[in-house]
Chains A and B, each alone.
Chain A
Amino acid sequence: MTATTADHHDDHHPTGIKRWLFSTNHKDIGTLYLWFSFVMFIVGGLMALVIRSELFMPGLQVVDPHFFNQMTTVHALVMLFGAAMPVFVGLANWQLPLMIGAPDMALPRLNNWSFWLLPPAATLLLISLFMPGGAPAAGWTIYPPLSVQGGMGVDFGILALHMMGISSIMGSINIIATVMNMRAPGMTLLKMPMFVWTWLITGFLLVTAIPVLAGAITMLLTDRHFGTHFFDPAGGGDPVMFQHIFWFFGHPEVYILILPAFGVVSQIIPTFARKPLFGYTSMVFATATIAFLSYIVWAHHMFTVGMPLTGELYFMYATMLIAIPTGVKIFNWVATMWRGSMTYETPMLYAIGMVFLFTIGGFSGLMLAVVPADFQYHDTYFVVAHFHYVIFGGTILGALGAVYFWLPKWTGHMYNETLGKWHFWLTVIGMNLTFFPQHFLGLAGMPRRIPDYALQFTEFNMMSTVGAFLLGFSQILFLTNVLRTIKGGEKASDRVWEGSEGLEWTLPSPPPYHTFVTPPQVK
């Protein structure tokens, strides 16, 4: 760590393909992550459009049922492991060093490796579509016995999951090490920006949850090929055991997806309300509480397997308990906006949209937590509506807001505000048109993961499909806006936003290739 002089002397870097292949620079790797997740977002989105096309009308028109099942499965895996998780690792790569005043991530070579595992993993997952027997088709939860019986596409899927898992484990080890060891002098833990806090906690969730998934899918693999019987009753195993192990990972995974988005919103809202975040300390503790609770509620995903009543009661109450720390966060965001000098630039719209739509998803989650109601809702479109409100309304809107928020800092140019607002409104209208009718479909009993449905579900399905295409195609506006901003546009100031606070806004826009080579002093 030679303390060179001013920052902008350090702006030279390798060029061409080598810059990206061998990069150990957190900004370059962050950019790679962001582009990768955008490509995956489009790939997964196209699969969703295949699903919605088939469901536009009852009967079978577009694809055969087996391919439909592959689409639902691979759409989910691509979106979760290819888009939603990497986008926040990308944001963390770009932002964490800038926000805590570190020169780079703690383990730059590991950082390079964690990114470059992802493209081969995604390739493995996607080429499984062309295998004999097709891609995994047992749903993203890959429950046995179905997943034990699929063709070799399932093995490709498992291998891809292993690689993406290793990638995010390494990514989060890096993030934890960065936050623990690389903070600027004076930046105590309770002075860290909320995005840093939520990522620190998410990092711990990742290093503890992903290995459990790795264990579960390894058991699946040995059940398939090496004669073990973890999940095969014929050999003394139990398929329900898989569900227990899977959801022990699966529920923390939900919070892995949402906590960084909470962090983003906690950065954006104070900026555009021009007030400090309300209840910072309670936000930190609420996040930690949510993370802890996420480990003790897994079986609410499987109320219908025939659990003992005691178990169902416990998991129901424990699940409802999560509403408390989540409520703390939502009320804190609202209180931050209360009597603030609010302006509604695109990032703020996304943040408010996220709070609003995530809350709807949270409430339908509470409905699903109620055991007797869940028996009715289980495996219906109500569940699909619920988790899309949480993951699209929460995670994706949070990520899009984050990109608009920090894009002027990264590129040095302002994005086009009009285009941004169009993108926001079309996305939000498209999303609600897609997923809100699915609540009604689910309550009326339409099951998920089935390519055909009864006639009375037609209208809501048509609305949903129209919404999905609107949602999908409005992302072109986003791509256009980002590309135009990279190319040029109005020069962004260092602070970019009138109300921005934090170390990253003390740097020039765009920041030089190497930043904070001499650590800043935080008072």
Chain B
Amino acid sequence: MNRSSAPGRNNRRTALWLGLLVGGMFGFGYALVPLYNVFCQIAGIGDAAIQVAEPGSESKTIDQERLITVEFTGNVVGGLPWETEPARKVQVHPGENVRIAFRTTNLSDVAVVGQAVPSITPTRATKHFIKTECFCFSNQTLAANETREMPVLFRVDTDLPREVKTITLSYAFYRVDADPQTAGTTPADAGTSSG
């Protein structure tokens, strides 16, 4: 640490490699976006997706002893002129096929295309939730002022962890045919329920 030997050059060198470190960390921030998913897959702790089964398929067994409460909630995210009324909560036995519907209305005078993105709470129930039919599988077009019962056909897997007694299925509806950036300015509408 003898500073009389060209301290200026030493300092520039230190500043340079620290600058590179800063650049690297900036990139690392972006790399975190894919890295989190990769890491969770490797560690096997990621949120598994909701299971999809063939329409008409049935569970081999039905667990008559347990009764699970399934609740529904729906949010329309700003920019989509829709209104949705979720189904009432239901009590289901694991393995039992159940059909419910979200009653959704287009409030505008033109046809609008929307897409629903589902999520399950608690997260650890996600991979035990099986859908055979869902309006969220594809874009939905509602004609001007149309109201439609949008169906979901699901069952809860029999190997659902025993401590899970209530499951909430949530949908966030987004506009597909418009730039989502035109949303905005109405924070009150904006409860997405991702998780």
Residues of A within 8 A of B (CB): 1, 102, 106-107, 110, 133, 145-146, 148-151, 169, 173-174, 176-177, 180-183, 185, 187-188, 207-216, 219, 224-225, 227, 229-230, 232-235, 238-241, 244-245, 248-249, 305-311, 519
Contact = CB atoms under 8 A, between A and B. Distances in A.
A177 B12 CA distance: 8
B117 to A, nearest CB: 5
Given A169-B22, A208-B21, A181 B29 contact: no
Contact of B14 (A176, A224, A233): A176
Nearest to A236: B117
Given A227-B181, A306-B195, 12 more contacts: A102-B3, A211-B23, A211-B29, A215-B29, A215-B32, A225-B181, A240-B195, A245-B29, A248-B29, A308-B40, A308-B46, A309-B124
B138 interface: no
A269 B10 CA distance: 35
B174 A234 contact: yes
A234 B47 CA distance: 18
17 contacts: A106-B7, A145-B190, A148-B184, A149-B183, A181-B3, A207-B18, A209-B25, A212-B26, A214-B26, A215-B27, A233-B194, A234-B77, A239-B192, A245-B32, A249-B29, A305-B195, A308-B124
B25 A208 contact: yes
List of 8 A-B pairs having minimum Cβ-Cβ separation, nearest first: A215-B29, A234-B174, A211-B25, A306-B195, A211-B26, A212-B29, A106-B11, A177-B14
Contacts of A169: 22
B29 to A, nearest CB: 3
Nearest to B80: A234
Given A185-B2, A208-B25, A308-B124, A146 B14 contact: no
A241 B11 contact: no
B32 A308 contact: no
Interface string B179-192: 11101111100101
Consensus secondary structure, chain A interface? helix
A249 to B, nearest CB: 8
A177 B194 contact: no
A146 B194 contact: no
B61 interface: no
B138 to A, nearest CB: 15
Query: Which of A207, A225, A230, A249 is the most central at the interface, judged by chain B CB atoms within 10 Å of its CB?
Result: A207
Contacts of B22: 169, 173, 207, 210-211
B45 interface: yes
Given A110-B15, A310-B45, A1 B181 contact: no
Which of the listed residues B40, B78, B184, B194 has the most CB atoms from chain A within 10 Å of its own CB?
B194
B33 interface: yes
Interface in B146-185: 172, 174-175, 179-181, 183-185
Contacts of B27: 215
Nearest to B77: A234
A198 B27 CA distance: 27
A519 B3 contact: yes
Contact of A149 (B3, B172, B187): B187
A460 B46 CA distance: 42
Nearest to A310: B45
Contacts of B7: 1, 106, 181-182
Contact of B194 (A182, A240, A308): A240
B4 interface: yes
Contact of A173 (B1, B18, B36, B45): B18
A146 B187 contact: yes
A1 B11 CA distance: 14
B36 A244 contact: yes
Contact of B78 (A149, A227, A238, A249): A149
Contacts of B3: 1, 102, 181-183, 519
Nearest to A183: B1
A148 B29 CA distance: 19
B115 interface: yes
B43 interface: yes
Contacts of B11: 106-107, 177, 181-182
B73 interface: no
B14 A106 contact: yes
Contacts of A227: 179, 181
B170 to A, nearest CB: 11
A224 B117 CA distance: 21
Contacts of A102: 3
B124 A1 contact: no
Contacts of B180: 229, 232, 234-235
Contacts of B187: 146, 149-150
